[in-house]
Amino acid sequence: MIVVTGASGNVGGQVVALLAAAGERVTAVSRRTAELPEGVRQVRADLDDPAGLKDAFEGADALFLLVAGQNPQAILDAAMAGGVRRVVLLSSQGAGTRPDFYRHPAAFEDAVRRSGLEWTILRPGGFHSNAYAWAESVRGGRSAAAPFGDVGLPTIDPADIAEVAAAVLREDGHAGRVYELTGPAPTTPRERVAAIGAALGTPVRFAEQTREEARAQMLQFMPEQVVEGTLAILGEPTDAEQRVSPDVERVLGRAPRSFADWAVRNASAFR
């Protein structure tokens, strides 16, 4: 049985669906009630209260863990007590390139490496789906605002992250690996907005934000340290942050999906 945390979220929900479709027994963990495929067991629990996870881990072999809660060691102890032998951690590119800003995922990585479990770490860069932040302004006024309009980054499709996670949870041969997950090519915010316009069949105006405007907006839903790290990646990416990684193709045997492809599949959110 495989336990999937973050099951009510973007990536975790798709991991649950893929595993269930492959015939795996799945336990889905989240605080909110998630809509789940038939046959998936739901456990509502908080990763900040590892004692409450005991029931979820009973009889589990593998764990898909996302970075939430303050005590990764306690989560892993509860997982091992339930029988978990393999853990796949959804970390973040920043844990490798800017560990001083991304302390939370870096701490989860340390705990996973020291756990004695068979571990694999996934380090995605920015998600294609961060473009949902533009959905309201595109729907309302056919415009989208972002900073650093001409800086390119190889953002990744969350569906590809989920597919990699499902493969790594089910297959042997990934133990002790750190996979950097990116899309197939760098795109700039201006190009991503244009791709949404193309998917809609109508132009969308790009409005360049200043760093301060972006910072104020991001502080509404991210801790300050993560905001500073994210602004640094968006504005002054290192070579490592701009590089296209071969790892999605290595695991899935196909290229990662482009932002334009994501925009077409998700156009209804912007209509």
Ligand X SMILES: NC(=O)c1ccc[n+]([C@@H]2O[C@H](COP(=O)([O-])OP(=O)(O)OC[C@H]3O[C@@H](n4cnc5c(N)ncnc54)[C@H](OP(=O)(O)O)[C@@H]3O)[C@@H](O)[C@H]2O)c1
What 3-state class would DSSP assign to 187?
A: strand
Q: Contact between 237 and ligand X (CB under 6 A)?
A: no
Q: Give the containing element (helix H, strand E) for 27.
A: strand 26-30
Q: Tell me which residues in 36-75 interact with ligand X (CB under 6 A).
A: 46-48, 66-69
Residue with tokens 């998630």: 34
Instruction: Name the nearest CA neighbour of 183 among 82, 98, 259.
Output: 259
97, burial (CB in 10 Å: exposed 0-12, middle 13-18, buried 19+): buried
Q: Contact between 10 and ligand X (CB under 6 A)?
A: yes
Q: Contact between 35 and ligand X (CB under 6 A)?
A: no
Q: Which is nearer to ligand X, 142 or 152 (CB)?
A: 152
Q: Tell me which residues in 90-149 interact with ligand X (CB under 6 A).
A: 90, 92, 124, 126-127, 130
Please spell the DSSP secondary structure of 103-148, one letter per residue. HHHHHHHHHHHHSSSEEEEEEE-SBGGGGGGGHHHHHHHSEEEESS
Residue with tokens 């640094």: 232
| DSSP tag of 156 | B
If binding means CB under 6 A, how many residues of this protein chain bind ligand X?
Answer: 25
Q: Which is nearer to ligand X, 44 or 113 (CB)?
A: 44
Piece in contact with ligand X (CB under 6 A), picked from 3-11, 169-177, 188-196, 207-215: 3-11
Q: What are phi and psi of 190, to 5 degrees?
A: -60, -40
Q: Tell me which residues in 146-165 interact with ligand X (CB under 6 A).
A: 158
Shortest Cβ 201–ligand X spacing (Å): 27
Residue closest to ligand X (Cβ): 9
Q: Which is nearer to ligand X, 69 or 96 (CB)?
A: 69
Q: Contact between 12 and ligand X (CB under 6 A)?
A: yes
Residues that bind ligand X (CB under 6 A): 5-12, 30-32, 46-48, 66-69, 90, 92, 124, 126-127, 130, 158
